[in-house]
Amino acid sequence: MLCFGFTFLYVPMVLLIVYSFNYSKIVPVWGGWSTRWYTVLFESEEVWAAITLSLKIALMNATFATMLGALAGLALVRFKSFRGRTLFGGMISAPLVMPEVITGLSLLLLFITLGQLIGWPTNRGITTITIAHITFSMAYVAVIIQSRLTGLDQSLEEAAEDLGAKPFRVLIDITLPLLAPGLLAGWLLAFTLSIDDLVIASFVSGPGANTLPMLIYSRVRLGLRPDINAMATIIIIVVAIGVCLAGWLMMRQERQRQRDMQLASGDNIKQD
């Protein structure tokens, strides 16, 4: 069953990669090995514009969503009661399960209403897409930060407070460094969510602003395209390298920690 499952998950992707090296213009008909579709892909200015736009949005989104999501997670875990906590908790978890079409539609209607009321935004594009992405990806970051915070040892913060550190100092010197792995995971997730999003971006984007998924979608709607296979290959390889690297680093960290703990307990025994 495991073999069947992993075959099911990976054969389509492997075939996607194989056919990107196909000379033939018709994707499933084999015409010999070639890298010509990679050249075609990179010669297209449209593709470069879409990649740049998507990267810009993803970077801004990841940074702001991490900040907002971290604040939200902190508020929900550390402040047990404040006015509007129920509403806040509902609003932070609702984007996780809200169908994309509804999020997209509602944000577009907001931007149009705002445009009529205060004259902003005058045209939709990079700003509106970034705002929309921050809104849904901060919810994912908040979940990660929440679970990380609940697992943290609060005695370190209490110790700092007892030693006279002001709350702000405790946040900067103690809580944030402890949260760092969660923040990094949140940033990466927000980045991926943004660069992967088609539906919400399609709703809130205006003429001329095409993100990478929007460009891919407009091309594959009409059928199979070898240059899109080439694009898919590049994306899959980049992601695979990134995920393997992250996995390797995490495993190394885990091993290091176990070794440290063994050393620490060994020292204790000697001292006794």
Which of the residues 207 through 236 are near other proteins (CB under 8 A)?
213, 216-217, 220-221, 223-224, 228-229, 231-232, 235-236
Does residue 82 belong to the site contacting other proteins (CB under 8 A)? yes
Q: Which of 84, 74, 208 is nearest to 149 (CA)?
A: 74
Does residue 6 belong to the site contacting other proteins (CB under 8 A)? yes
Does residue 9 belong to the site contacting other proteins (CB under 8 A)? yes
Shortest distance in whole angstroms from residue 4 CB to other proteins: 8
Size of the site for other proteins (CB under 8 A): 84
**How many angstroms separate the CA atoms of 113 and 198, rounded?**
23
Q: For residues 187 and 63, is the Cβ–Cβ distance under 8 A?
A: yes
Q: Helices 212-220 and 176-196: crossing angle, nearest 10°?
A: 30
Binding flags for other proteins, 120-159, as an x/- string (CB under 8 A)? -----------xx-xx--x---x---xx--x---------
Does residue 95 belong to the site contacting other proteins (CB under 8 A)? yes
**How many angstroms separate the CA atoms of 176 and 148, rounded?**
11
**Phi, psi angles (nearest 5°) of residue 33:** -75, 145
Shortest distance in whole angstroms from residue 161 CB to other proteins: 14
* Cα–Cα distance list, 44 to 8, 55, 198, 215 (Å): 33, 17, 21, 12
Selected from 55, 105, 126, 165, the binder of other proteins by CB under 8 A is: 105
Does residue 80 belong to the site contacting other proteins (CB under 8 A)? no
